[in-house]
Structure 1
Amino acid sequence: MILSRYQQALARRSQHWSPTTRGLLWTSAAGFIFSMLNALMRLLTQQIDPFQAQFLRYAFGLLVILPLVWRGGVANFMPKNMRDQFSRGLAHTVGLCLWFTALPQIPLADMTAIGFTGPIFIMIGAYLAFKEPMHWERWVAVALGFGGVLIVVGPKLSASGGWYHLMMLASAPVFAVSFLLTKAMTRYETPGVILVWQSITVSIITLPLALWVWAPLTGWQWLGFLVSGFLGSAGHYCLTRSFAAADISATQSAKFLDLVWSALMGFLLFSDIPSQSTIIGGVVIASATLWLARRESAKAAARKRNAAEVEAEAEANGSP
């Protein structure tokens, strides 16, 4: 009851927000959750094989959302296009194989820097596949955000890792394909359906790889994967909501906030003190994101005013 009242209050407060602002907030929430998930998965993949880890990550993601599927009715979670669901699952699995293999082998700063090439591939793909408009503000926000990333990670990049760096880099365009397929599916599938079938398809596709390298787990490792299931499902739900709320290219600048979340996780969990470059870069990243949100909101408000003025003028002139 209390939760319902909070949800209603939040809905009332957010009614005036532009679609881009909603998308940016959902993307920021997804980044925060994924930062916690990445820290946990890095620890687990240093203990067990990456292929087993990626299967368990999505199998537990499916396990934690099954009660919601049962409560909402299985029929309501059946996809309209099964082939698209498995195509997206296959693309995501290929990216996961590359990402999980490289994850325990390269420094965290290197991994983060390489991962931020993703928005570039997504923006290019969104323009080519969906013909999304590329306003100059979006390019500026992404450029500033990427500049902030370089400020943060530039002094920390190492030359170690060899082929693992290339594997992590190769995962970025593959994940971009997966996210673009998700964006396409939001036109006819609900976020819940996409979330459930991502867990199903990835679990099915990765099961043979996991069985090939399977090893017994400790109690703490089982608990870790259970937590990863909750975090992964919540993160992908937020990401899917952001794709449904706004143009995918409009929300990519918020991805750079992931570095801020990572620094926060390091400070709270491991007492890591952010360096000066991290603070400066974080300010640049946050400023770019907030600037884009304000610009897009102002443009949306102006469009509404113009539409209202045109309608009022038409009524005054007696137009039907």
Structure 2
Amino acid sequence: MTTTPDRTLTAALAILAYALLIGFTDNFVRVVAVEAGLWQFHAVRAVMALALLGLAAQVVGLDLRPLRPGAVVARSVIHATAMLIYFGCLAFLPVAQVAAGLFTAPIFVLLISRFAFGEPIGPVRVVAVMLGFAGVLMLLGRDSLQEARLAALLPVISGALYAFGNIVTREWCAQERAETLLAGFFMALGVMGLVGMGVLALVAPEVPAGTAGFVLRGAVWPGGEFYLWTFVQAAGSLLGVGLMIKAYLIASASRVSIFEYIILPASALWGWVIWDEVLDLGAWIGMAMIAGAGAMIALRSRQLEPEATPLS
């Protein structure tokens, strides 16, 4: 297990910025899904993101070459698979149920960190994870607990893969540069998108109109709106995921994962700003619980790391 020192407060700020960016861009997936498919979206977004990353590499002299190619590939495939399952489940499960499954990730982070890597987990973080997860359920409402069936396990599998990917970011790739891991993530998603389009071209399934056909829709000739919002997604994801990766490189996954709960209230905030979607009292209580969980981790981390400063 790596002994790289944690910088939890800096990681928390990175996750906050990541949540605000991703919360904004993810609110426009519904626009993209009207005319294009999941696989084409990921393939086109990957090309755009890698082009932007390559341009940035030339301008500021980034080195995208991995130090341990096998570890980077493995980590990239794990995270990309988690995201594909997450988006794919939106076709046949309620969004609240899918999101609740994905945000079981911190529970898996604790379990994997403790039993696979032997990392000690204190009672404060255990309580914080449970409080944050309870807040997620409160925010999502009763729909996340209804209609349980075998398919409902898929978002939980996505959460487990996402958790494992976050852990190996630091365990396997602690010496890698954030931009290297970012490039690997988008390359994996791009390859999966191309493979998906190829399979759909051969199978040629019947595709429902609109967002209902998001997963089954293969390559199409979309309009300018698709490319506009896919570019926004690419640029926002490039910066946001880069911040997330950096957070997991500088602090332990069992701590950083708590702060990712802020993605849900951030998405809800943008939903209100963009789509005029209003949250009920239960959702606000859930967000308060999520914020409380993050505060518990931040305060506890400062007690354990007195030498750290807010800007470290």
The TM tier, using the shorter chain, reads 0.7 to 0.9
| 1:133 positional shift | 2.2
Matched, 1:32 2:43: no
1:103 corresponding residue in structure 2: 90
- For normalisation by structure 1, the TM-score amounts to 0.81
Identify if the C-alpha distance between structure 1 residues 138 and 159 changes in structure 2 by more than 3 Å, giving closer, same or farther.
closer
CA distance in 2, matches of 1:282, 1:137: 19
> Post-superposition shift, 1:46?
4.4
* 1:267 aligns to 2:272 (yes or no): yes
Contact 1:141/1:253 (8 A) holds in 2: yes
Deviation at 1:146, TM superposition (A): 1.0
- In the TM superposition, what whole-angstrom CA distance separates every residue of 1:92-149 from its partner, at most 9, and x where no partner exists? 3322332222124333322222221111112222223433221111111111111111
Which whole-Å CA distance do the structure 2 matches of 1:164 and 1:41 have between them? Answer: 22
Identity %: 21
Displacement after TM superposition at 1:164 (Å): 5.0
Which residue pairs with 1:314 in the alignment? none
Residue 79 (structure 2) pairs with residue 71 (structure 1): no
Show the counterpart of 2:296.
Answer: 291
Q: 2: distance between equivalents of 1:161 and 1:144?
A: 22
Q: Could you give the per-residue CA deviations for residues 66-102 of structure 1, whole angstroms, max 9, x where no partner exists?
A: 211122446x221112222222222233223322221
Asked if 1:149 corresponds to 2:110, the answer is no
Q: Which one of the candidate residues 196, 217, 220 is aligned to 1:215?
A: 220
Query: What residue number does 2:211 align with?
Result: none
Deviation at 1:185, TM superposition (A): 4.1
Q: Deviations over 1:265-312 (max 9, x none)?
A: 1111111221000111111111221122122112322x78xxxxxxxx
Structure 1 182/51 Cα, relative in aligned 2: closer, same or farther at 3 Å? same
CA RMSD of aligned residues (A): 2.3
Unaligned runs of 5+ in 2: 1-5, 202-217
Moved more, 87-96 or 218-227: 87-96
Counterpart contact for 2:101–2:158, Cα < 8 Å: no
Paired residue for 2:283? 278
TM-score calculated relative to the size of structure 2: 0.83
Q: Say whether residues 1:81 and 2:68 are aligned partners.
A: yes
What CA distance in whole angstroms lies between the structure 2 residues aligned with 1:218 and 1:160? Answer: 36
* 8 Å contact from structure 1 (residues 51, 100) kept in 2: no
For residues 165 and 238 of structure 1, what CA distance do their matches in structure 2 show?
Answer: 30
Which residue does 2:106 correspond to in 1? 119
Per mean C-alpha deviation after superposition, the further-off stretch among 24-33 and 136-145 is 24-33
Matched, 1:234 2:239: yes
Between 131-140 and 50-59, report the one with greater CA deviation. Answer: 50-59
**Does the alignment pair 1:139 with 2:126?**
yes
- Structure of larger gyration radius: 1
Q: Could you tell me how far apart the structure 2 residues matched to 1:184 and 1:61 are?
A: 26
Q: Structure 1 or 2: larger helix share?
A: 1
Q: Is the Cα–Cα contact under 8 Å of residues 85 and 201 in structure 1 kept in the other structure?
A: no
Q: Is residue 2:178 matched to residue 1:191?
A: yes
Secondary structure of 2:293's counterpart equals helix
User: Secondary structure of the residue that 1:181 maps to in structure 2?
Assistant: helix
Number of aligned residue pairs: 285
Q: Which amino acid aligns with 2:75?
A: R
By how many angstroms is 1:21 displaced?
Answer: 1.6
Deviations 1:19-61 (A, max 9, x none): 1222222222222222223222243234322222222232222
**1:19 correspondence with 2:24:** no
Q: CA 1:82–1:299 in 2, change beyond 3 Å: closer, same or farther?
A: closer
Instruction: Return structure 1 stretches of 4+ with deviation > 4 angstroms.
Output: 158-164
The Cα of 1:160 is off from its aligned counterpart by: 5.5
Q: 1:192 to 1:106 in 2, by over 3 A?
A: same
Q: Using a 3 Å threshold, how does the CA distance of structure 1 residues 206 and 92 change in structure 2: closer, same or farther?
A: farther
